[in-house]
Structure 1
């Protein structure tokens, strides 16, 4: 075997290991999500440990591996160039998503939000008892630009607004509707209640978990309000 052949084979093996390093973080997140959704481990392991801690370091290691892959590919552009570019793009996307997610989670935002902080809508007794048992956030706060609907909406409109925002309706009445929403990735849950009064309809959305979740509660509450407005 010639020296060129040995170098080429060695470069191919090295490239495989670098590509595997690049893919480690995305694969870990995939496994973490599946394991959490199927109950193999709690959110504390799947989200907090595997995804947000270990996965972040693997993403940085993947970026370093991608840079090395590009350098290695310079020795054989025709055979290794495309693989190296693909690895670099995947690593940049992975790190970019982590940076974006970190900024999102670091944003100071309430986990329990409402259109009426002074007189927040209350949950049904069974929901309130469950939230107390879970030690869920219970300090209703305002969100930027989140305002009540200045009319008494129909109960059907309230139900449709909750369902349209991804909530499963658990209670529907003339003056109040409630629902619960389970997040797609790690199953984090939010409760929502719509209180209907003459001339005004208020909304409250509250996380069941006190983990930092960015402005998710505000976005969900705004979504419900927008759907109520559209259904008037």
Structure 2
């Protein structure tokens, strides 16, 4: 019994702090994302500093706190056991996501993905000028499993494929369509172009930002190709 006469009060307060430590990383990521999306701070602060640096250390602190919570729970399994298990699950999931993210960000994948590395589709003059001003990546590369559509698709099919892949169509023509995709988490953008030629349709997706983004360009390019194939 504690000095206040209430058994377990000190342990309850301690467990509360441990729970807050476990939740600190997920809460920080949420705040970082929302702050970036609403323009409260730059992506350098929201993504690079708060999420990828501070958040990673908080995730490790959360795992340590979950282990302490589990040890504390052995004194009162019926009351504290479920809380400790929930803390362990949340902390392991958080650390696991950070480990997975680190592997994705350090993987050797292109920021400029295309079905035709030797003869990549070019962006329109307006788009190319905009990208040059941003110093966007410009090094067309192949992706595993990404292949051209071996037929000439209709311009409507190209437009629909861009929209289904989450792109906002910027320009649509008989032989080329372009679109822009904005990521959900931090608003990172990708440009896409679909080039239509007799007997072949090619796709190119390029990040506007040179930051590591995992396989986003390849993944978005595959979505567009899937949409082109589905639009037979």
Tell me if both proteins adopt one fold, taking TM over 0.5 as the criterion: yes
1:170 and 2:200 aligned: no
Tell me what 1:52 maps to: 52
Tell me what 1:212 maps to: 212
Calculate the aligned-residue CA RMSD, in Å. Answer: 1.3
Following superposition, the deviation at residue 102 of structure 1 comes to 0.8
- Pairs within 5 Å for 1:44-123: 44-123=44-123
Instruction: Mark the runs of 5 or more structure 1 residues left unpaired by the alignment.
Output: none
Q: Is the 8 A contact 2:2 2:10 kept in 1?
A: no
Following superposition, the deviation at residue 5 of structure 1 comes to 4.8
Distance 1:4 1:73 in 2: 21
- Secondary structure of the 1:201 match is strand
Q: Is the 8 A contact 2:2 2:9 kept in 1?
A: no
Distance 2:120 2:78 in 1: 65
- Secondary structure of the 1:210 match is coil
Change (3 A) 1:65 1:168: same
Tell me what 2:133 maps to: 133
- Secondary structure of the 1:152 match is coil
1:144 and 2:120 aligned: no
Following superposition, the deviation at residue 3 of structure 1 comes to 6.0
Distance 1:130 1:42 in 2: 20
Count of residues in Structure 1 that have an aligned counterpart in Structure 2: 232
Alignment TM-score, normalising by the size of structure 1 = 0.97
Following superposition, the deviation at residue 4 of structure 1 comes to 9.7
Q: Is the 8 A contact 2:2 2:8 kept in 1?
A: no
Q: Deviations over 1:33-76 (max 9, x none)?
A: 00000011111111111001100000000000000011111111
Tell me what 1:191 maps to: 191
Distance 1:123 1:153 in 2: 19
Distance 1:126 1:145 in 2: 30
Tell me what 2:180 maps to: 180
Tell me what 1:203 maps to: 203
Change (3 A) 1:2 1:105: closer
Following superposition, the deviation at residue 82 of structure 1 comes to 1.1
The list of structure 1 runs, each at least 4 consecutive aligned residues, that deviate by more than 4 angstroms after superposition, is 1-7
Q: Deviations over 1:120-142 (max 9, x none)?
A: 11111111011101000001111
Tell me what 1:221 maps to: 221
Alignment TM-score, normalising by the size of structure 2 = 0.97
